[in-house]
Homo-oligomer: A and B are copies of this chain.
């Protein structure tokens, strides 16, 4: 064992650097391994259609809280998170495996609830459940999902293809899931302090749905295909716009300029943010779990992308020398920071 006095804590490295560090000596040997760790999914070569493989491990107390997440919603979310990673490669998911670990105190009926959410997501997105199992946990609930999908080789989109002058696009609106989470957290605290007070949730239907029942943007992948647009880079917004855009810039070796006033934020998100004295754009920049798509396209594609409903152009790609800049409404430049969700942080 290494010397105890020199041990490095996980938070010193952080989630992204940790996996880079642990896997730096693993090199790809197989002809069928086209792309390994470092994108939304791995790409494997087993025939004409290239295979897209992604996996996610969801831990109670870290990724979800059973106090305000109904089990059916949790099952639905857990599938969506993985499908979103496949769509982010510009591919179509087709199969999932689901493994679940639960305490023996769970009832069969609770697990039925969880699986009813998994089934709803499968039905909604046309996905087959092909494997996995259930096992015991001495503590919390654990859900592990792997998704498999495919795409033609020349349709696959990675994080590293953004080029200078490309337009930066996002789908839908951002920060809604984060705003929804703030509401749920507040009502949980009120409820825990006085069980007679019923949660006040009626004014937040949209942002609560975005938090509790997120969707993956299958429709956008279909629309891009209909318009014959292949983005130059793409990622799904799971960690927040700042963090995810910085992934694209770093891996593509470029910089970016995005404009605060172009970032789409829903009215309900703005209202909720104001209640919490948070700037709405902070929800959009740093709030995760929106599962919208962030992609770049060459300027020639502008017209075609404008045909697709629900896509906002929020800026453009620059040389890396220019850094990663957010332009405020007042015209000030600030450097984008990755302040997204990091499950390895101390708090």
Where the two chains meet, the residues of A that have a C-beta atom closer than 8 Å to any C-beta of B are: 1-2, 6-13, 15, 18-19, 21-23, 25-26, 28-30, 32-33, 35-37, 41-42, 44, 46-49, 51, 53-57, 59-63, 94-95, 97, 99-102, 104, 106-113, 115, 119, 122, 126-140, 142, 144, 146, 148, 150, 343-344, 346
Contact B56 A109 (CB under 8 A): no
Contact A142 B53 (CB under 8 A): no
- The smallest C-beta distance from A77 to any residue of chain B, in angstroms, reads 15
- The smallest C-beta distance from A9 to any residue of chain B, in angstroms, reads 7
- The smallest C-beta distance from A41 to any residue of chain B, in angstroms, reads 7
Residue of B nearest to A43 (CB): B130
- A44 and B136 in contact, given A112-B22, A115-B23, A128-B36 (Cβ under 8 angstroms): no
Can you pick out 5 interface pairs between chain A and chain B where the beta carbons lie within 8 Å of each other?
Answer: A9-B108, A22-B115, A42-B97, A44-B148, A146-B146
C-alpha spacing A44/B1, complex, angstroms? 42
Number of copies: 2
Q: Which residues of B contact A112 (CB under 8 A)?
A: 22
Contact A97 B53 (CB under 8 A): yes
- A11 and B47 in contact, given A61-B138, A62-B135, A99-B55 (Cβ under 8 angstroms): no
- The smallest C-beta distance from A145 to any residue of chain B, in angstroms, reads 9
- A9 and B135 in contact, given A46-B51, A95-B53, A112-B22 (Cβ under 8 angstroms): no
Residue of B nearest to A27 (CB): B128
- A30 and B60 in contact, given A22-B111, A37-B130, A139-B138 (Cβ under 8 angstroms): no
Contact B142 A59 (CB under 8 A): yes
- The smallest C-beta distance from A75 to any residue of chain B, in angstroms, reads 10
Q: Which residues of B contact A135 (CB under 8 A)?
A: 15, 57, 59, 62-63, 343-344
C-alpha spacing A283/B59, complex, angstroms? 35
Interface centre among A6, A23, A61 (most CB of B within 10 A): A23
- Cβ-defined partner of A18 (8 Å) among B13, B42, B111, B142: B111
C-alpha spacing A133/B41, complex, angstroms? 11
Q: Which residues of B contact A144 (CB under 8 A)?
A: 55, 57, 99, 144
Contact B11 A104 (CB under 8 A): yes
Residue of B nearest to A32 (CB): B94
Sample of 17 further A-B pairs with CB below 8 A, known A36-B129, A142-B142, A146-B146:
A7-B110, A10-B106, A18-B111, A19-B132, A23-B115, A32-B94, A37-B130, A44-B148, A54-B97, A55-B55, A55-B97, A55-B131, A57-B100, A57-B135, A59-B135, A62-B136, A99-B144
Contact A128 B33 (CB under 8 A): yes
- The smallest C-beta distance from A283 to any residue of chain B, in angstroms, reads 23
- A10 and B95 in contact, given A15-B134, A137-B62, A142-B142 (Cβ under 8 angstroms): no
Contact A109 B59 (CB under 8 A): no
C-alpha spacing A26/B131, complex, angstroms? 11
